[in-house]
Chains A and B, each alone.
Chain A
Amino acid sequence: MTGPSRDNAPGAWTKSRTASGETVLELSERDEQGWSVVTVKGRLDSATVKRFSEQCAPWIEGGPPNVVLDLSALEYVSSAGLSSILSAAKKLQARSGRFAIAGLRGLVKEVFAISGFETVLATFPDVETAIKTS
């Protein structure tokens, strides 16, 4: 696969911690069939969203413009998180890329439904289906 080099090594994990030291956000990225699969674990809230945006920037703004966010291990998302996901989706759209969400469940799925994001964004039950169908 050719394209711009990435700042993050394949499969590299990055973590976000609160001031108390507790880890609440974990991100990792891997390449799969021409897609950048970004796995988000923990909480995407007002405290972690800045780190989320900064660490996803290389994958959203560079590299292949096909990104799927694997949210199957995301336990909590607030409107701050939704805004950053919306921003990512719009940036990929501007690059004529594809953006998909996979693995919505529980309260996160409900928040996506409330906000209309479950329909305005391409959502799938899992990463494999997202890549095959998009």
Chain B
Amino acid sequence: MEEVQRVVAFVADLAAGAGLGAEKGKRLELAIEEWIVNVCKYSYPGAGGTVEVALHKGRGNLQVDIADEGLPFDLTATAEPDVAAPLAERQPGGLGLLVIRRMMDEVGYVRDGRRNIVTLTISTAQS
């Protein structure tokens, strides 16, 4: 999982260099971490795999594309966990995808041949 944090830190540095403020930078870090952990845990069962990360600076936003060649998975189509459930019924999973959706201004997904491509977009305007 330390490799995950290296990727997160790498993207965070690029984003800061592209003008993303500290507060929004943490939101982006969180979304990146949640998705890359998800890929590590589920995309390549029983085997290793690669993840490609690309950052694009748009007009007033940053877009991060994260591609993997693992099992098909559309994060935009998954149901959200019941966050109102009492403690005894709460399960540990499902929160990562929820956090991604709330931290980012837009979350996109396409299946391109053998690749999942997740696009995370965040406005660079001061919040």
Measured between beta carbons, the chain B residues less than 8 angstroms from A116 are: 83-85, 90
Interface of A toward B, CB cutoff 8 Å: 18-20, 45-47, 49-50, 75-76, 78-80, 82-83, 86-87, 89-90, 93, 107, 110-111, 114-116, 119-121
From residue 75 to 93 of chain B, which have CB atoms closer than 8 A to chain A?
Answer: 83-88, 90, 92-93
Q: Which of B30-38, B45-53, B59-67, B108-116 contacts A (4 or more CB under 8 A)?
A: B30-38
Q: How many residues of B sit at the interface, in one of the four size bands?
A: 20 to 34
Interface bits B13-26 vs A (CB < 8 Å: 1, else 0): 00000000001001
**A-B complex: 9 closest residue pairs judged by Cβ atoms:** A116-B83, A83-B92, A79-B95, A79-B96, A46-B1, A47-B5, A114-B102, A19-B2, A47-B1
Is B99 interfacial (CB 8 A cutoff)?
yes
Q: Interface residues of A: mostly helix, strand, loop or mixed? A: helix
A114 touches B99 (CB 8 A): yes
- Out of A78, A89, A114, A120, name the residue touching B85 (CB < 8 Å): A120
B87 touches A121 (CB 8 A): yes
B residues sitting closer than 8 Å to A (CB atoms) are 1-2, 4-6, 8, 23, 26-27, 29-30, 33-34, 37, 83-88, 90, 92-93, 95-96, 98-99, 102
